[in-house]
């Protein structure tokens, strides 16, 4: 069996796990977060779902495009190396996007609090 | 021969690094919940959710970084193997320590911001004056 194919199978399995199971955690915990941050509660669910779809699309698209950049794998050591580095890139990118999202939402909350003059946690 | 050595190096490096991340994250985020409760003024639900979100982000970030720097170019002998793997693991440990202190700094900053906000809320009745 070709080493590349083994690598692809492991890679796709991990990406599948990230897309399906971690997504649920983000969805359920992010809902509470959004309800705290957004004053208009009717858009919370919509924003949450849009973020979820964006997460899935980004993840899957990125993973599939990255497959094109894989070199021909000759040895077992190279197999571990290439799979790990590719997975690392995608996971790191996800983490950075996640923190940027949190920061943007928190900044938005600060601005809303300033505009409404009455902080939402007292109302 | 060196191919086998590289596989041994990866087989030692990856599990230890991942376990280290798991251990650090578990400790940090079990203890940061109390900070979060203070930052969000005792609202347990939002504190727990934020804590969890940060935990997932911390995991993703560190696992991604550790997997990204995995590559070891060439290994001569068993001595070389031990040296390279220990250098890498030491780097990961220092990196994790820096991330831990960064997280603690953010938590303390959040706490301070909450305190400042509280003081501002107390002062609001006095600040209600508007020039005619």
The residue extents of the domains of chain A are 3-118
Distance in Å, alpha carbon of B60 to nearest chain A alpha carbon = 5
Q: Using one digit for the tens of pLDDT, what is the confidence trace for B23-32? A: 999 999 998 8
* The pair of three-digit structure tokens given for residue B23, joined into one six-digit string: 């251990």
Would an 8 Å CB–CB cutoff place A121 in contact with chain B? yes
Whole-number Cα distances in Å, A78 to A6, A41, B7, B71, B116: 12, 50, 9, 9, 54
Q: What percent of chain B has a predicted confidence (pLDDT) above 70?
A: 89
Q: Is B38 exposed, middle or buried (0-12, 13-18, 19+ CB in 10 A)?
A: middle
Residue with token string 């505009």: A115
What ipTM was assigned to the predicted interfaces of this complex? 0.78
Poorest-confidence range of A5-14, B57-66, B113-122? B113-122
Rounded to the nearest 5 percent, the helix, strand and coil shares of chain B are 85, 0, 15
Contacts for A110 with CB less than 8 Å, ≥ 6 apart: none
Going B36 to B117 to A47 to A55, the CA torsion angle's sign is negative
Q: What percent of chain A has a predicted confidence (pLDDT) above 90?
A: 20
Q: From the list A29, A36, A95, which residue is nearest B60 (CB)? A: A95
Please state the pTM of the whole predicted model: 0.81
Q: From the list B3, B49, B68, which residue is nearest A85 (CB)? A: B68
DSSP designation for A120: G
> Cα angle vertex B92, ends B87, B96, to 5°?
150
Q: Where is pLDDT greater, at A114 or A99?
A: A99
Q: Where is pLDDT greater, at A115 or A6?
A: A6
The residue extents of the domains of chain B are 2-127
Would an 8 Å CB–CB cutoff place A10 in contact with chain B? no
B124: confidence class by pLDDT, cuts 50, 70, 90: low
Mean pLDDT (chain B) is 85
Would an 8 Å CB–CB cutoff place A24 in contact with chain B? no
d(Cα A83, Cα A86) in Å, to the nearest integer?
5
Q: Using one digit for the tens of pLDDT, what is the confidence trace for A50-92? A: 888 988 898 899 889 988 888 888 888 889 989 999 999 999 9
Note whether B36 and B103 are within 8 A (CB). Answer: no
pLDDT of residue B117: 76
């Amino acid at each position: 069996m070709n080493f590349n194919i083994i690598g692809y199978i492991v890679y796709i399995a991990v990406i599948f796990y990230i897309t399906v199971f971690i997504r649920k955690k983000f969805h359920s915990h992010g809902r509470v977060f959004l309800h705290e941050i957004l004053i208009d509660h009717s858009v919370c669910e919509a924003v949450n779902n849009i973020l979820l779809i964006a997460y899935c699309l980004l993840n899957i698209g990125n993973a599939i495009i990255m497959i094109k950049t894989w070199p021909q794998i000759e040895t077992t050591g190279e197999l571990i190396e290439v799979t790990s580095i590719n997975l690392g890139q995608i996971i790191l990118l996800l983490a950075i996007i996640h923190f940027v999202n949190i920061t943007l939402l928190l900044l938005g909350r600060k601005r809303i609090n300033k505009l409404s003059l009455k902080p939402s946690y007292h109302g | 021969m060196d191919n086998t050595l590289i596989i041994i190096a990866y087989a030692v490096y990856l599990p230890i690094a991942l376990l280290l991340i798991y251990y650090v994250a578990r400790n940090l985020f079990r203890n940061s919940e109390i900070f979060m409760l203070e930052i969000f003024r005792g609202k347990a639900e939002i504190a727990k959710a934020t804590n969890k979100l940060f935990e997932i982000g911390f995991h993703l970030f560190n696992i991604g970084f550790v997997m990204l720097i995995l590559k070891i170019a060439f290994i001569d002998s068993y001595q070389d193997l031990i040296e390279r793997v220990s250098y890498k693991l030491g780097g990961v440990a220092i990196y994790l320590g820096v991330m831990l202190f960064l997280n603690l700094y953010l938590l303390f900053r959040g706490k301070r911001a909450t305190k400042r906000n509280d003081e501002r809320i107390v002062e609001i009745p006095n600040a209600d004056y508007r020039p005619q």
